[in-house]
Amino acid sequence: VSCVCIVRSIDVSSTKITYSLEDHSGQIEAHYWLEEGDSTKAPDIMLNHYVKLFGSVRTQGSQKMLMVFKMIAIMNSNEVCTHILEVLNARYKSEEFASKGNDTYATNVDSMNFNSKISGDDSLGLEGKQLAVLQAVKNNISTEGISRKEL
């Protein structure tokens, strides 16, 4: 799993670092296991800052927790916004799928064009102005991104 969350507490021991994380839907603990007690290889994370975490969900007793594979400090606030939009999109797509029933899955799979990436058609179903904006953003090579004025 991957999640974007705020680090609320850090507890360092000789074998692991325990993080208390909050993602605006609740709190969960995450454990980063240290290699041979070497805390210098631990992620450079600060309290009350956003991080992107990659790991797996584990159950310890009756409590769920995350086992951290990688944790990166987020320096760009757009990553937080992007993650929230991805989560909302996944939720709404799953609700749409559930409301239509399981029969529509087979229909949708049959109607998909799996060769679209090969043929170079990456319009993602966009048309007109939306497609023009997508192409302008993709073609911009500056490190700051495209400005509204340029767009």
- pTM higher than 0.85, yes or no? no
Domain ranges of the chain: 2-73
Contact assessment for residue 18 and residue 55, using Cβ atoms and an 8 Å cutoff: no
Nearest to 33 by CA among 1, 78, 71, 73: 71
What confidence tens digit (pLDDT) does each residue in 47-73 have? 999 999 999 999 988 899 999 999 999
**Domain covering 2-73, topology:** OB fold (Dihydrolipoamide Acetyltransferase, E2P) (2.40.50)
Q: What is the pLDDT of residues 22-44, one digit of tens each?
A: 988 889 999 999 887 566 677 88
Q: Give CA separation, 66 vs 18, 32, 124, in Å.
A: 10, 9, 33
